């Protein structure tokens, strides 16, 4: 299988996540020092200085620090946090076949696209662990209230992967409209965390593990597509798709 990652985008967004982290720390430090200016400096500032340093400066800096911290957490979850979805999926798909191509971070909102002999798959991933319940297009994560509050600040709420996967598949289908309009695009939801405990009942979109050692695994699902339903891109169409996606040949 050929693996094609948008390495330039990955490197850039990892740097942004790191810059945001250090910027947030710096802004929080400035806010803390300004708020405790008298205690730290051991001086009694004038009224004008007091108004600026102890009131106006924290009022300006702390909201900026709060927003940059949230952005930093969000970017870290998407681009730094381990396990990396592009790595776990590629590992789990080993042996799928030499004709398969796995793209990552070129076709947003489809973060990952697999073109295999069995078909074309738009993949949405989740990094959450623990107990996760899916019924149809409904998702639940049994948690205490405090855990739900902490999840908001960690940006690790599950959201609705079903809606995202359907949107991702529709987007890829649009990209293929001029190349191979008769080729279906299968939406798939992939969990990359090995410690997740999935309970899935009549899902609207297939829900699988990245690792094929866990069941159901992504590779097993791809291979389960019936022979009479298998329809994919030819090598020439894959080249066209890569060109359309501005992916340079390796």
Does the residue 115 lie in any domain?
yes
Does the residue 250 lie in any domain?
no
Q: Which residue has the tokens 């945001």?
A: 20
pTM of the predicted protein model: 0.89
Residues 16 and 125 in one domain: no
Return the C-alpha torsion angle 11, 16, 18, 21, nearest 10. Answer: -160
Residues 37 and 151 in one domain: no
Q: Which residue has the tokens 């639940």?
A: 140
Range of the domain at 94: 83-244
pLDDT in tens, the chain (250 residues): 999 999 999 999 999 999 999 999 999 888 888 777 666 666 665 556 666 666 777 788 889 998 999 899 999 999 999 999 999 999 999 999 999 999 999 999 999 999 999 999 999 999 999 999 999 999 999 977 777 676 766 678 899 999 999 999 999 999 999 999 999 999 999 999 999 999 999 999 999 999 999 999 999 999 999 999 999 999 999 999 999 998 976 5
Does the residue 249 lie in any domain?
no
CA distance 116 to 85: 18
Residues 99 and 197 in one domain: yes
Residues 189 and 121 in one domain: yes
Residues 94 and 21 in one domain: no
Give me the count of residues in the chain. 250
């Amino acid at each position: 299988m050929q693996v094609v990652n948008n390495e330039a985008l990955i490197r850039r967004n990892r740097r942004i996540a790191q810059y945001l982290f250090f910027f947030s720390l710096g802004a929080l430090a400035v806010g803390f020092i300004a708020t405790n200016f008298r205690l730290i400096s051991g001086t009694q500032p004038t009224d004008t200085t007091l108004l600026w340093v102890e009131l106006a400066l924290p009022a300006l800096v702390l909201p900026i620090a709060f927003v940059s911290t949230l952005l930093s957490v969000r970017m870290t979850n998407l681009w730094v946090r381990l396990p990396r979805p592009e790595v776990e999926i590629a590992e789990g798909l080993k042996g799928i076949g030499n004709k398969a191509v796995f793209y990552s971070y070129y076709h947003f909102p489809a973060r990952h696209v697999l073109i295999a002999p069995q078909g074309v798959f738009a993949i949405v991933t989740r990094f959450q662990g623990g107990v996760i319940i899916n019924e149809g297009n409904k998702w639940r994560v049994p948690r205490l209230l405090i855990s739900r509050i902490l999840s908001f600040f960690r940006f690790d709420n599950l959201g609705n992967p079903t809606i995202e996967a359907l949107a991702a598949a529709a987007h890829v289908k649009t990209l293929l409209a001029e190349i191979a309009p008769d080729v279906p695009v299968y939406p798939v939801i992939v969990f990359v965390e090995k410690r997740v405990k999935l309970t899935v009942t009549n899902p609207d979109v297939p829900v699988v593990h990245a690792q094929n050692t866990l069941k159901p695994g992504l590779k097993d699902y791809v291979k389960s597509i019936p022979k009479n339903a298998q329809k994919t891109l030819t090598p020439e169409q894959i080249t066209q798709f890569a060109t359309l996606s501005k992916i340079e040949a390796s």
